[in-house]
Structure 1
Amino acid sequence: MWQLRIYDMKHFWDNNYHLMELVKEVAEEPDKDSIYEIDGRTYRWCAFSPEHKVCGIKEITLNTEPDDVDDDYLTCPYCGSIDHDAWERSADDDTVECGSCGSTIEYQRNVQITYTPIHTRRDTKMREIKFRAWYIPREEMVQPDRLESINFDTKVLGVYMPIENKGFHRFRMSDFILMQYTGLKDRNGVDIYEGDIVSYTSNEKVGERKVMQRRGYDTYAVYGEVEIRGVVKFGTINRPFEKGLLYYVDTDKSVSYDTYFWGSGKKSDRPEMKSSNLTKSLKTNVDYQVIGNVYENLELLEDK
């Protein structure tokens, strides 16, 4: 005879079946794919021992009118059994049979994507805030190591400067022109400040090449290396793809060339002169060289 006993995992796997409550004895082997109605109660199987003819069962309560609810697991709405291997199912929506009560279940997998930032390293690199100043009365550049303090409320600067047998002085801010460090260095590792004169090479459109065709012409842009020299400033510029308040290199340098793009494509079209100023924002990927500043080396901006 087969014994149907209330399943207890510890007793079952220790073969202490006699410690599990006996529910019923049957002559034939119980069907694993069925639920058991015994004395008005409903049971499902949990474990089998063919050698000892013991079937461990567990009482369940069937919900005949379940509600559709979202859950983190694929849970049978009729008996509450959880399919812990549902994550292995390939289909995001399907119809399956509950392994406990045999009910047919339709499910839909809802995928939610979340991100967990993992702490690795905090980048503490920040732009160093420092100033230098042009002392107007003596026409002298005061480097950052000689600027002891700047009080923007009282408009007073503390400066190390040998004057009248004294090394330290406090001056009115109006006697100075302050220049802030941009956070960039030139090709030689020199700090770039406002007021610096820098030179660099830029690949610019310097002309157009016109190729005559049978019914008109094609025009191609011509690019070349242009030497640019200008003053580092902070302010607003308005160029294509460069708009806003930022550091930029102000220059009178421009390129001029004949353009045919404006025409209708006829052989009779005359070229139009195109001129483009080369004032651009200060960039981290450009090979600048500091060659002076506007207060001590203004002659560097003169056309040669």
Structure 2
Amino acid sequence: MQGREIKFQVWDKDAKQMWTWEDINIADKEGVMCFLDMLQQDQFIKRQFTGLRDKNGKEIYEGDIVRAKNGVQIGTVIWVESDCKYVVRWTKDNPTKKVYDSNMSSAQWGEVIGNIYENPELLQPAG
């Protein structure tokens, strides 16, 4: 049995730059920055890969902003420690909907449209 892929993205608060998993691996190999060092510094915020992809095949990370299949609802992917799972917290007064559920494929619920660090305006009320 194969487990899910474990990888990260890292948001650099000071440089306002997202490090992809590929960027992190290159920096680590070239001696520019060690991933473990990044995790110990307050300027870096880790975003873990959920193991899921959206309807377009895009990887879904903690902190991603997603649009529901209906094209109206927008929410944020979060980790719920008490339940040990990722969920989408919808912003339009909807109950929390599950991102990871054995009865739901990622294609059924929508697409990644940004993330809370690079695109916070996507979560602002329209108008």
Q: What's the TM-score once normalised by structure 1's chain length? A: 0.35
Residue 250 of structure 1 pairs with residue 127 of structure 2: no
Name the counterpart of 2:121: 299
Residue 90 (structure 1) aligns with: none
Match of 1:288 in 2: 110
Q: Which residue of 1 aligns with 2:13?
A: 136
Relative distance call for 1:281 and 1:169 in structure 2 (3 A) is same
In 1: Cα distance, 2:56 partner to 2:71 partner: 21
* Bigger strand share: 1
Work out whether 1:127 is the aligned partner of 2:4. yes
What TM-score results when the alignment is normalised by the length of structure 2?
Answer: 0.78
Alpha-carbon distance in 2 for matches of 1:253, 1:145: 34
Q: How does 1:77-88 map to 2 (within 5 A)?
A: none
Structure 2 unaligned spans of 5+: none
SS of the residue corresponding to residue 145 of structure 1 reads helix
- Compute the displacement of 1:147 (Å): 1.7
The percent of aligned pairs where both chains have the same amino acid is 36
Q: CA RMSD in A?
A: 2.4
SS of the aligned residue for 1:234 comes to strand
Does residue 186 of the first structure (1) align with residue 54 of the second (2)? yes
* Residue aligning to 2:27: 160
CA deviation map 1:127-164 (0-9, x unaligned): 1000110011101000001223xxxxxxxxxx729xxx
Whichever of the two has the greater Rg, that structure is 1
Residue 252 of structure 1, CA deviation = 2.4
The CA distance in 2 between the partners of 1:177 and 1:280, in whole Å, is 24
Question: Separation in 2 of the partners of 1:300 and 1:278?
Answer: 19
Contact 1:252 1:278 in 2 (8 A): no
- Between the aligned partners of 1:236 and 1:253, the Cα distance in structure 2 is 23
Distance 1:143 1:186 in 2: 17
Q: Residue type of the partner of 1:197?
A: I
Q: Deviations over 1:64-109 (max 9, x none)?
A: xxxxxxxxxxxxxxxxxxxxxxxxxxxxxxxxxxxxxxxxxxxxxx
How far the C-alpha of 1:236 sits from its partner, in A, is 4.5
- For residues 143 and 293 of structure 1, the distance between their equivalents in structure 2, rounded to whole angstroms, comes to 13
Contact 2:73 2:91 survives alignment (8 Å): no
Structure 2 vs 1, CA of residues 167 and 245 (structure 1 numbering), >3 Å: closer, same or farther? closer
How much does 1:235 deviate? 1.0
User: What count of residue pairs does the alignment treat as equivalent?
Assistant: 116
Amino acid corresponding to residue 192 of structure 1 in structure 2 = I
Equivalent in the alignment of 1:233: 78
| Aligned CA distance change for structure 1 residues 287 and 281 (closer, same or farther; 3 Å) | closer
Decide whether aligned partners of structure 1 residues 289 and 169 sit closer, same or farther in structure 2, where only a CA change above 3 A counts: same
Shift of 1:167: 6.8
Structure 1 unaligned blocks of 5 or more: 1-123, 149-158, 202-224, 238-243, 255-276
Q: Are 2:67 and 2:74, in contact at CA under 8 Å, matched by a contact in 1?
A: yes
Residues 226 and 175 (structure 1), Cα distance of their counterparts in 2 relative to 1, 3 Å cut:
closer
Alignment-mate amino acid for residue 130 of structure 1: K
Higher relative contact order (CA 8 A, sep 6+): 2
Q: Alpha-carbon deviation of 1:302?
A: 1.1
Matched, 1:169 2:37: no
Using the TM superposition, give the Cα deviation of residue 226 of structure 1 relative to its aligned residue in structure 2, in angstroms: 7.7
